[in-house]
Amino acid sequence: MPSRGKNIVSFLFVFFFFISSPFIYSQDSTYLLDKKLLAAIQNEVSGERAWDMVSKITRFHRIRGGGEGSDYNRCVDFLAAELKNIGLQEVRVKRYRADGIKKYFLWRSLVGWRAREAELWLVKPYQKLLARYSDQAVSLMPYSQGGEAEGEVVYVGKGKSEEDYKGKDVKGKLIFATGGGGSQVHRQAVINRGALGVIVGPSDKGSRLQFPDLIEVSRLSPKGEEVEKTGFGFALSRRQEKEILSLFQSGKKVIMKAKVKAELFDGEMPVLEAKINGAEYPDQEIIVMGHLDHYKPGANDNASGSAGMVEMARNLLDLVKRGEIPPLKRTIRFLWLPEIHGAAAYLAEHSGLKEKGIVGLNLDMIGENYYLCESRFHLIQSPYSVPGYINDVLFNLTGWLDDEAFYSPRGTRLHFNFRLAPFWGGSDHIMFNDSAFSIPTPMLGHADVFHHTNLDTPDKCDPTEMKRIISLSLAATVLIANAGEVEALRIAREVYSRATLRMTERTKKSFGLLHQSTEEPNMRKSLAELHSNILNYPQVQARVESANLEEVKELCQDKSSEKFIDKLVENLKVQAAQEKKKIDSMYELLCSLNKIKKEVFKPTEMYGKAASLMPKRLFKGPLPWNYAQENLSPEDFKQYQKNNQREGRYFGSKTYEIINLMDGQRNLLAIRHIVSCEYDETDIEFILHFVEDLKKMGLVKY
């Protein structure tokens, strides 16, 4: 029997070995960027400086239809000067026509807008100021036309349906509605029925009920030809809505007076662009973007992303100047955009970015104080239809953010909290991820209860979180911009590692689906169909992952590195075969456990049709939200909406992907499988209907 003392010595040895070895080695293998560079970034990035810039940007009411005399243009000029001040050489402003008529891809431009002042007064039963533009800019609905009105106000309930207007003459009147959706109320009352203006309270969103003075933004959407009859709108808080509503409820006559000094005109969308040219591969670009527009104050959305990019640009210049990072091999292009519409205009002019753009980063709402905003960080990945490695690079670095070094003096000391999310839309990354450009572009953003309200103020923006997300973006940018053979292999290894996990994860989901279908008698009918579908997924997922790996080759010069990647792709194929066996074996087990007779799925007519159709999209850029409504007959649009409802919350992301995947090479069944792997089980009938609707609108051919 060995002595107790010796035992303790060997225990301590083993103990210290395990304690110390991860400390010694893990820092070099855990993160893709070298420890020294990570430390340099941590020391360089300032959440305080970024926050200061947020507060400066929030002074402007940044409405994306800009033009001479608009606050948006003033903000662009201010920021361009700041960028030159920090030493950026290539700073340019590109201007695109915004007249509410010109289209970029399928996206109709907005109209130019400038506002000077606006006031809304309650005149009777008592005198009271309700809203003033210079107090709270969002109380005047953006894109309101100038004008004056005084008179009795007509209450129209929610003001969004035909019903609400029955027996009421609103022409030439001011109208009051409750329940939010000011833009819809405005269309019904002013554009369709000739009212002069609308006064609308906030929506009934549960999370916002606790803020009685919150004012929601309602952005009007006049087309170029509607400018003359646009009128105006005022948005009220819940407290004000209650007060006005009580007057109507007690049968009082309500008179209001409005005065709006604002104009709609043939304007422009200015895009601010800055470049740091790469020394070795200038034609490979990392595109860092954020929308500069939005409603004053718009601190988190999106002064935070805009300020974060200014900080990043400054950091890059300073780190290179001090020799802490080598000069950049690849080009960095920064874009401060008028959201989506401006991105469409910019890309329509820069079709060459399809080849040059290797990675995009969309910084949209990067500074939320978790506690105040009821928030957390979301890393929204680029979609399956656009292969790339950026999602895995960012995910790899998130672990590094959970470090005290990121706490900023005036920031919170809350722990980093984030979720990895599948692709979804809503911001500029939808343009860059479109298959016309295929630049893999994740979005870095936060959920936020104050999104698009008067309460999105700088105090909701946390210097600590700013420092974290800017550091994350910067570390990923530095890694890719300067990647050589060593870094490319590390990235390939990381993508492969995560791919093997995703494939296992996909099989886990398939097990769950099988189990559910065997447990629930009414789902057994479709068991054979489910089994037949999910048997395809290992191979589908492996193909998606292989395409991601292949993209890493753009960072490689050596044949041996390419061979390394080829070998990893081979390994994914082997894993796919294994995953398929696992699914089959689980199917057998569950069938015998539940005494279910195994059946062979006979593909229905719809499956046959889907397998025979290879659609090709005939347009660039994603489908605008209102496009189907404007281009299908009312009857067809009703069916279109019904079809969408089938797919629930992922409908928007799925249709985006279906369009992106329609390259004339894949059939609809293959597209169905990819979308199902990315999100959840997708009804074949839904896809057939959707593509048929696109065909009716002349957007696809077979």
Using CB under 5 A, list all residues that contact Zn ion. 301-302, 364
Q: What's phi and psi for 340, nearest 5 deg?
A: 60, -60
Nearer to Zn ion among residue 70 and residue 302 (C-beta): 302
d(CA 629, CA 221): 15
Nearer to Zn ion among residue 216 and residue 364 (C-beta): 364
d(CA 381, CA 384): 9
d(CA 203, CA 194): 24
What minimum distance in Å lies between the beta carbon of 295 and Zn ion? 10
What minimum distance in Å lies between the beta carbon of 326 and Zn ion? 34
- C-alpha 354: how far from chain center: 20
Residue labelled with tokens 């709609």 = 264
What minimum distance in Å lies between the beta carbon of 349 and Zn ion? 23
What minimum distance in Å lies between the beta carbon of 237 and Zn ion? 22
CB 604 within 8 A of CB 659: no
- DSSP string of 607-663, one letter each residue: HHHHHH---EE---SPPPTTHHHHHS-HHHHHHHHHHHHTTGGGHHHHHHHHHHH-B
CA distances from 38 to 30, 323, 406, 463, 496 (A): 12, 14, 12, 19, 23
Do the bridges between strand 700-701 and strand 443-446 make them parallel or antiparallel, or are there none, so unpaired? unpaired
CA distances from 321 to 274, 314, 326, 327, 406 (A): 18, 10, 9, 8, 23
Nearer to Zn ion among residue 62 and residue 617 (C-beta): 62
Nearer to Zn ion among residue 142 and residue 159 (C-beta): 142
Question: Residue 538, preceding bond cis, omega within 30 degrees?
Answer: no
CB atoms within 10 A of CB 16: 10
Nearer to Zn ion among residue 301 and residue 545 (C-beta): 301
d(CA 139, CA 159): 18
Nearer to Zn ion among residue 182 and residue 367 (C-beta): 367
Please give the single-letter amino acid code of residue 634: P
Nearer to Zn ion among residue 428 and residue 487 (C-beta): 428
Nearer to Zn ion among residue 364 and residue 678 (C-beta): 364
CB atoms within 10 A of CB 17: 9
What minimum distance in Å lies between the beta carbon of 469 and Zn ion? 14
CB 308 within 8 A of CB 137: no
Nearer to Zn ion among residue 304 and residue 643 (C-beta): 304
CB 616 within 8 A of CB 671: no
Nearer to Zn ion among residue 302 and residue 644 (C-beta): 302
What minimum distance in Å lies between the beta carbon of 365 and Zn ion? 5
Length of the chain: 702
- In which element (H, E) is residue 567 found? helix 559-593
What minimum distance in Å lies between the beta carbon of 233 and Zn ion? 21
Do the bridges between strand 377-380 and strand 443-446 make them parallel or antiparallel, or are there none, so unpaired? antiparallel
Nearer to Zn ion among residue 291 and residue 617 (C-beta): 291
